[in-house]
A and B are shown apart, each in its own frame.
Chain A
Amino acid sequence: MTTPPKISQLISQFRERLGSRNVLTRASELLTYECDACTLLLHPPQIVVLPKTPEDVAFIVQHCIRAEIAYTARGAGTGLSGGALPVEGGVLISLNRMNKLIRLDPENRTATIEPGLINASLNKAANPHGLFYAPDPSSMAACSLGGNIAENAGGIHCIKYGVTTDHVLALQVVLPNGEVSWIGNPTRRLHGPNLLGLIVGSEGTLGIITQAVLKLTPLPQKTRVHLATFQSLEAAGAVVAAVIQQGLLPSAMEFMDAFTVRAVNTAFNVGFPENCEAVLLIELDGSSGQVEEDGKLLLTIFQEHGVGQIRTGESVEERAALWKARKATVAAYGRYMPAFYLHDCVVPRSRLVDILREIQAVAQKYNVMIANVFHAGDGNLHPHVLFDPAIEGQTENSMRAGDEILQTCLNMGGALSGEHGIGLEKQAYMHLQFTPQSLEKMQVLKEIFDPANLNNPGKIFPQRQGCGETRVTLSTSHFKATETASAEGGVWI
């Protein structure tokens, strides 16, 4: 248990190194850091520190080790699984001020960045050189690249370009022993055992990323977005399956259900066609010739599956208009219910129609509204269970509905999380996807990296073993109204 003298001593040491302005201790200052974008759980830190260099981070970690105080790194706070919450209190290391683009190397298509750099800022710098950074979580305007790496973030375009781990060449990491190490190589994948692939996606539990060398991708010659409406979920699901089966590789393939379309039209007047049950947004990119060829095949698939309306966008403005509705969905839901529970489960793409039917059945069973907008191209669902915490029983029903959806996804051969991570939110479900032996092998890894278990403890793995395991307790007071979310400053998926 942390003792106040240890905390006081740490505060003095940090202030001496970082300056008083970079060490936050007042309750009002700490409040900002008590949750991330997953507002289900609140865990305020005891100290927040704002380092500016990798050496600062190493200094902080070394002093935390000496004091036996837990520490947790945090990026922009846009995470959706509570991964950056200091569950045991202690020190929260906010990396926002380490936000430089250290080097852009167009010739070698790499960028060296600090972890606090915002995802979209990298693209802004890379685009004039004909390059882009492919992983594009919907929160890219606000989320930091360090957080993206820690969570192995995905995004709309990862169906074609891969997720974050496919774009990380090397990482500078402050390991849980307080030492700084470069893992990987900026030039190329190294042979032999690969620690880099373990660090990416480890949710900040194996070390703190202080710099990264990222791979950049040439911008496609041509990009075209197709919006297509369908009269049934089945038809839309069948189109997704057909696109995959035909070997087409769109750069994005997104699904919105009828409720979602109505919600974004009402909230933002985006003018999407409403006389349908489902909308698909499919983006093709590549050489002009390839986009033309793929476009013909795509239209054939649409027609074979009874497409309703089709709209296309090719210019930057046209494409932005079509994507606007997709990106504004969460804010739009706020007009219907004051709270939601967002899931992030995955099913094989061939099971999309099945899972959508199951989700409808679950919604009826628990008498809750469930809206669907998701990355159809990689089977990554985002069911939003909408509810009003003020209505008795709705919160509990929403939780039960969510549990059942997760279990159904796993029964279909899916996974607990496609891009949001496990963090605190889903750790109690891990035993549903992995055997105890498999979980133990993962936990051994954590023990080897972090024997003192001070680096972001209490995440990913179930904290209590056996049949007495219970999921994270969610209090109705923890839900924040979705009405406060907006396309610019709220929750993205």
Chain B
Amino acid sequence: MDLKALHNNWIATGEAEYVAENALCIKPSTPESLSKQLAQLAKHQVSVAQSSAAMAGLMHLHWISLNQFKKIDSSNAADYIVRVQTGVTFGELDAHLAQYKQMFPLRYPAEMTLADILATDRATLESGLRGYPRDSVLKSEVATPDGELTYSGADVVKNVTGYDLHKFYVGSRNAFGILTEVTLKLIARPEGIQSITAQCDKLVDALHLMTELRTSLLTPTVCELIETQTGWTIVAQLQGAAAFLESSTRTWRENASSLWTFDSLQSDFDDDGIQGLIDSVQPWPQDYAVLEIVTPLSDWEDLLKKLHVLIPVDSEAYLQARPLAGLIYVAAKPDVFKALATAVQCLITEYPQAFMQWSQWPEAVYTALAHRDVFWTEVRQWNLPTDPLQLTLLKNLKKRYDPQNTLWTPELEL
């Protein structure tokens, strides 16, 4: 069957549709259909992109939407695990889990699909304390261009049987296969959520407040230090048993700085959540490019101070720090970003364990990729190991798992 006939066949069965001239969105109804479609595309040597890349403006002639993969199986809810297809959005999953007083350890925008979260192993505000999505994936089902659906892991919280391929697929941006279903490890939904904020004019004062919070007996799940147009804002969140939160924060408030503002204790997450609060503070628009600097916990404060001095006041660039994870973000307009990145790179050479990588925020990656002439190569290489041995291993794996190179991943130079 030629490609055109194949398209028509898929369209007739509701498994694809044209979304623009010559741009075909493949909408498989089942993981089995997806693996067959991938195999047929591979046979025709036609590459296919994941939907988030296409949505972000990197339009491709063939792209995949997993929107029909909506199954959530909580038959093992008593075991604090859930089996879920990757077309499910975070909001859908979270609402489902709330019935069982459970949650995924990390929180995302409601409309984001698990496919997007897992493809990038997307960090969140909670990652410093609770890790990354990869840490919570117990089992995966993956569709590959050889037409197979394969599995690794198991529907249990502890398992060392076979290679942990699910840990490899998560974060690989669909370069080796497309995750269609995962089993996730869950945690108890907190009965109390307490947000705390503070604002200061100067970085030095903000850092003093950060120390005050860090040395308290409180254990924030989220702690973010954000540069604004007028100074610095700290946004933190505590989660836990309501009575315990109430008593521990009451005790702390008696001695803490008066700059701290305590929101009322909530019994569940807001729709916008803590990210909404941060978004309302964050001064930079979505089309800014964002660079991520990874520092040891011992260095982040010192490095932040130096970056603050380094970045010109009139550059319209902003800093943000995630102290629990030792992360510093530099956000800047794409047209000044490259020069800024070069300066930052020079500065961080003073810190042997610090390094720079592209922000894990996919929007920022796609922003950069959209400026193809400036960033294309850098971005595609920054998410890969620099060691040529490891790069060769990855390239060889790509050749075996995707021999026709039809799984198109703009973010990886494989």
Q: Report which A residues bind B (CB closer than 8 A).
A: 105, 107-109, 151-152, 154, 158-159, 162-163, 165-166, 175, 177, 179, 181-183, 185-195, 197-198, 200-202, 241, 244-249, 287, 289-290, 293, 346-350, 375, 378-380, 413-422, 426, 430, 433-435, 437-442, 444-449, 460
Residues in A whose Cβ lies below 8 Å from that of B400: 444, 447-448
Q: Are A162 and B241 in contact (CB under 8 A)?
A: no
Residues in A whose Cβ lies below 8 Å from that of B134: 189, 194, 197
Q: Are A444 and B401 in contact (CB under 8 A)?
A: yes
CB distance from B360 to the nearest CB of A (A): 5
B95 contacts the other chain (Cβ, under 8 Å)? no
Residues in A whose Cβ lies below 8 Å from that of B93: none
Q: A181-B389, A187-B296, A197-B168 are in contact. Are A348 and B244 (CB under 8 A)?
A: no
Q: Report which B residues bind A (CB closer than 8 A).
A: 76, 78-81, 101-102, 120-121, 131-132, 134-135, 144, 148-152, 154-165, 167-168, 170-173, 175-176, 187-189, 217, 219, 240-241, 243-244, 247-248, 294-298, 325-327, 353-355, 357-358, 360, 382-385, 387, 389-390, 393-394, 396-397, 400-401, 412
Residues in A whose Cβ lies below 8 Å from that of B355: 185, 187
Q: A165-B167, A193-B168, A415-B156 are in contact. Are A108 and B76 (CB under 8 A)?
A: no
Residues in A whose Cβ lies below 8 Å from that of B353: 108, 186-187
Residues in A whose Cβ lies below 8 Å from that of B135: 162, 166
Q: List 30 A-B contacts (CB under 8 A).
A: A154-B160, A183-B387, A187-B294, A187-B326, A189-B121, A191-B360, A192-B172, A192-B383, A194-B167, A194-B172, A195-B385, A198-B167, A245-B78, A247-B102, A290-B244, A347-B156, A375-B158, A415-B161, A417-B159, A417-B160, A418-B158, A419-B160, A422-B162, A434-B161, A435-B150, A439-B162, A442-B152, A442-B162, A442-B163, A448-B400
Q: Are A194 and B168 in contact (CB under 8 A)?
A: yes
Q: Are B167 and A435 in contact (CB under 8 A)?
A: no
Q: A193-B168, A289-B244, A441-B165 are in contact. List 18 more A-B contacts (CB 8 A).
A: A107-B298, A159-B157, A163-B158, A165-B167, A183-B385, A189-B121, A195-B168, A247-B187, A247-B188, A248-B188, A289-B248, A350-B79, A378-B157, A420-B160, A433-B154, A434-B152, A438-B162, A441-B144
Q: Are B156 and A247 in contact (CB under 8 A)?
A: no
Instruction: Select A193's contact among B131, B175, B326, beta carbons within 8 Å.
Output: B175
Residues in A whose Cβ lies below 8 Å from that of B102: 247
Q: A162-B135, A444-B400, A448-B397 are in contact. Are A194 and B161 (CB under 8 A)?
A: no
Q: A107-B298, A435-B150 are in contact. Are A441 and B172 (CB under 8 A)?
A: no
Q: Are A107 and B297 in contact (CB under 8 A)?
A: yes
Residues in B whose Cβ lies below 8 Å from that of A426: 161
Task: State the 10 A-B residue pairs at the shortest beta-carbon distance, nearest first.
Answer: A247-B188, A197-B167, A192-B383, A415-B154, A350-B78, A415-B159, A378-B158, A107-B298, A438-B150, A193-B172
Residues in B whose Cβ lies below 8 Å from that of A198: 163-165, 167-168
Q: A202-B163, A438-B151, A441-B165 are in contact. Are A449 and B79 (CB under 8 A)?
A: no
Looking at chain A's contact residues, the main secondary structure is loop
Q: Are B394 and A193 in contact (CB under 8 A)?
A: yes
Q: Are A441 and B164 in contact (CB under 8 A)?
A: no
Residues in A whose Cβ lies below 8 Å from that of B162: 422, 430, 433-434, 438-439, 442, 460
Q: Are B325 and A188 in contact (CB under 8 A)?
A: yes
Q: Are B171 and A192 in contact (CB under 8 A)?
A: yes
**A430–B160 alpha-carbon span in the complex (Å):** 12
CB distance from A243 to the nearest CB of B (A): 11
**A26–B219 alpha-carbon span in the complex (Å):** 57
**A413–B157 alpha-carbon span in the complex (Å):** 11
Q: Are A349 and B161 in contact (CB under 8 A)?
A: no
Q: Are B144 and A348 in contact (CB under 8 A)?
A: no
Instruction: Select A430's contact among B159, B161, B171, B244, beta carbons within 8 Å.
Output: B161
Instruction: Select B81's contact among A109, A348, A434, beta carbons within 8 Å.
Output: A348
Q: Are B389 and A175 in contact (CB under 8 A)?
A: yes
Residue of B whose beta carbon sits closest to that of A380: B158
Instruction: Select B155's contact among A163, A413, A417, A446, beta carbons within 8 Å.
Output: A413
Residues in B whose Cβ lies below 8 Å from that of A105: 296, 298
Q: Are B393 and A195 in contact (CB under 8 A)?
A: yes
Q: Are A190 and B159 in contact (CB under 8 A)?
A: no
Instruction: Select A191's contact among B189, B296, B325, B383, beta carbons within 8 Å.
Output: B383
**A367–B282 alpha-carbon span in the complex (Å):** 69
Residues in A whose Cβ lies below 8 Å from that of B148: 437, 441
CB distance from B407 to the nearest CB of A (A): 12
Q: Are A108 and B154 in contact (CB under 8 A)?
A: no
**A181–B221 alpha-carbon span in the complex (Å):** 34
**A195–B170 alpha-carbon span in the complex (Å):** 11
Residues in A whose Cβ lies below 8 Å from that of B76: 348, 350, 413
Q: Are A201 and B164 in contact (CB under 8 A)?
A: yes
**A105–B297 alpha-carbon span in the complex (Å):** 11
Residues in A whose Cβ lies below 8 Å from that of B159: 346, 415, 417-418
Residue of A whose beta carbon sits closest to that of B141: A438
Q: Are B172 and A445 in contact (CB under 8 A)?
A: no
